[in-house]
Structure 1
Amino acid sequence: MFRKRQSFLVLTILLISCMLVAACGITDKKDAEKPADQTEQNGGEHDELLIGVIPAQGSNQMELGADKLASLLQEKLGYSVRAEVYPDYNGVVEAMGAGKVQMSYLGPLTYVEAHERYDVKAIVTQLIEGKPFYYSYLIASADSPYQSLDDVVKQSKNIRFAFGDISSTSGSLIPGIALKDAGVFKTQQEHEFKSVTYTGDHTATALSIQNGMQDAGAIDSAYYNNLVKQGKIDGSKIKILWQSEELFQYPWAVVNSMSEDDIKIIQETMLAITDADILSAFGGASAFTYASNEDYASIRQAAIADGRIKPRQ
């Protein structure tokens, strides 16, 4: 009887061992069948790349362009890619810092802030009429008495002034510095204007001027020109009072743990884009081109001068 029980026990152990070996073989086979691009990214296994997009010109058009870009990158990268337009600029920066977003479309100022805080890096930017530059404009209603920045400064007490998002380069930082230097603006609460408003994006700023809700405002030149071109703004009802020096275009940035292989695929894919919906969504771009952290050195200096970031020791 003992021998029978012993034999039964041995057979049971052998059966269980065979089952475990078979299960391991199935698992190994499944792992081996996974495409190489499904196993490693950003230092580990991944299921999805999330692209965060700042709301530069209103969400609808940007969502269309961002979604089409995500689909194109998904096809080239071989894994899930999704895009999300965030409600404000800073939200994208914080999402990158929290690891929720791996790639983002940022304004130059928000890029500099993200780079300083989370070491993200710029890899692509857009060309507007073949050039990677744009300007900050001050605009006003065409029938207003204002013709220049000096007029805005002299008549500040009569002017309802509109900035874009508080973290916008052309809609806040650069024109804000010009107005601070002129002595009429410090903060939204401390200024010489009749009122100061932050509209949240460039489309809202342009419409507020055109519709008489604000008297003057700051806006991105590329987005403004694109709005006029698309007929969303009547250019005959608005005039440009001031133009800044050249600003390097908005960067697409990635987290520093992204693999060089994936970065190369993203760059090559974006530089080949001709889809009008994608290009138009991002300032009416004519194409995309390479970008690097060094391209934003002047914005970093402006942010330091304005107290937005602290210089590295």
Structure 2
Amino acid sequence: MKKVTSILFAVILLVALAACGGGNSDGASGDGDKEKLTIGVIPAQTEGEMQGAMDKLQKLLSDELDRSVSIETYPDYNGVVEAMNYDNIDMAFFGPLTYVIAHEKSGAKAIITQLVDGEPFYHSFMITHKDTPYESLDDIVKNSKKVDFAFGDPSSTSGSLIPSIELKDRGVYTSQSDHEFKTIRFTGSHDATALSIQNQEVTVGAIDSAIYNQLVESGKIKGDKLKVIWKSEELFQYPWAVNKNMDEDLIKKLQNIFVDIKDEEILNAFGASGFTKASNEDYASIRKAAVKQGIIKE
């Protein structure tokens, strides 16, 4: 009888322990409400300049959610996509193109985007030095054999995807090895593109309009030495996206926290005037562009 009682007690104890450790309730790594939330961020500006803002954002989220939060800045766009794809992070700050790729690969869901001057939109610019004779994209197309053209990161929406489609439609660009320009290069970042134009290392470059304006306002580049010769249609701003398994209650908490952010250092790190809610449908035009370029298959 004692043996039966002991076995029964052991079974009850195991069931109780399993119930107490009952798994992840909200899609973040680990168990329960106190588990660590991991966030990956692509650098909107150089990593060192973002660190103070990321520390503040990490503390804010940790305090508001009452859990440990870790924010890691990734060196490039693809790194944060792969981190989401392999479930190494619960949330990420993406570019629009890298977001639609992450959504396609892992089901990432956009929940927040940034506002710039109160609007959730930006543009792709093409810029040149003020001393060049070119005043429009038509001028660039007509003189393409004389033009050294710079894209940013190959995975950038405004620095590569959108301008490459425009140039393809104009008949002067298919790929880095098939084009009508004197040279083509990828600088790797928006600020590197702007400096290359300012220093007259290249003739024309593609850049994020919000980052361009931020670089001018901060004095990192000299606006009086540059001119904008082309502007795309409106593009929906960079999204914050979460793992497809994240609980809706945690998503709502995150949305409310971001919408309420007023800290200037955090906002400035993303060139933002605020944050607003977003959804996957907001990036339909970017997905269409990615399909057109063969980046995403239908």
Q: Same fold (TM over 0.5)?
A: yes
Query: Partner of 1:272 in structure 2?
Result: 260
Residue 132 of structure 1 aligns to which amino acid in structure 2? P
> 1:80, 1:175 → 2: CA distance?
40
Q: How does 1:30-179 map to 2 (within 5 A)?
A: 40-42=25-27, 45-46=30-31, 47-179=35-167
Q: How does 1:125-274 map to 2 (within 5 A)?
A: 125-274=113-262
> 1:135, 1:172 → 2: CA distance?
12
> 1:71, 1:155 → 2: CA distance?
52
List runs of 5+ in structure 2 lacking aligned partners: none
Higher radius of gyration, 1 or 2: 1
Query: Partner of 1:302 in structure 2?
Result: 289
Cα–Cα, structure 1 residues 279 and 304, in superposed 2: closer, same or farther, change >3 Å?
same
Cα–Cα, structure 1 residues 39 and 302, in superposed 2: closer, same or farther, change >3 Å?
closer
| 1:253-305 superposed Cα distances (whole Å, 9 cap, x missing partner) | 000111112111111111000111111111x2111000000101111111111
| 1:59-80 superposed Cα distances (whole Å, 9 cap, x missing partner) | 2223332332122111111221
| 1:208-264 superposed Cα distances (whole Å, 9 cap, x missing partner) | 111122111000000100111111111001100000001111100000111112111
Shift of residue 41, structure 1, vs aligned partner: 3.1
Shift of residue 39, structure 1, vs aligned partner: 6.3
> 1:166, 1:100 → 2: CA distance?
23
Residue 41 of structure 1 aligns to which amino acid in structure 2? D
Shift of residue 44, structure 1, vs aligned partner: 6.5
> 2:28, 2:46 → 1: CA distance?
34
| 1:32-84 superposed Cα distances (whole Å, 9 cap, x missing partner) | 8x9x9x96331772542221111333222233323321221111112211111
Shift of residue 199, structure 1, vs aligned partner: 1.2
Shift of residue 112, structure 1, vs aligned partner: 0.7
> 1:80, 1:211 → 2: CA distance?
44
* TM-score, normalised via structure 2 length: 0.89
> 1:44, 1:221 → 2: CA distance?
36
Question: Is contact 1:71-1:82 (8 Å) kept?
Answer: no
Query: Partner of 1:7 in structure 2?
Result: none
> 2:187, 2:43 → 1: CA distance?
11
| 1:175-221 superposed Cα distances (whole Å, 9 cap, x missing partner) | 00001111111111221112111111111111111112211100000
Question: Is contact 1:52-1:84 (8 Å) kept?
Answer: yes
| 1:74-102 superposed Cα distances (whole Å, 9 cap, x missing partner) | 11112211111211111111110011111
Q: RMSD between aligned alpha carbons?
A: 2.4
Question: Is contact 2:28-2:36 (8 Å) kept?
Answer: no
Cα–Cα, structure 1 residues 157 and 128, in superposed 2: closer, same or farther, change >3 Å?
same
Cα–Cα, structure 1 residues 278 and 44, in superposed 2: closer, same or farther, change >3 Å?
closer
Query: Partner of 1:285 in structure 2?
Result: 272
Question: Is contact 1:56-1:201 (8 Å) kept?
Answer: no
List runs of 5+ in structure 1 lacking aligned partners: 1-9
Shift of residue 306, structure 1, vs aligned partner: 1.2
Aligned residues: 286
> 1:43, 1:204 → 2: CA distance?
35
Residue 292 of structure 2 aligns to which amino acid in structure 1? A
Query: Partner of 1:6 in structure 2?
Result: none
Shift of residue 105, structure 1, vs aligned partner: 0.6
Q: Could you say what secondary structure the match of 1:125 adopts?
A: strand
Question: Is contact 2:26-2:248 (8 Å) kept?
Answer: no
> 1:186, 1:113 → 2: CA distance?
21
* TM-score, normalised via structure 1 length: 0.85
Identity %: 56
Residue 25 of structure 2 aligns to which amino acid in structure 1? E
Residue 40 of structure 1 aligns to which amino acid in structure 2? S
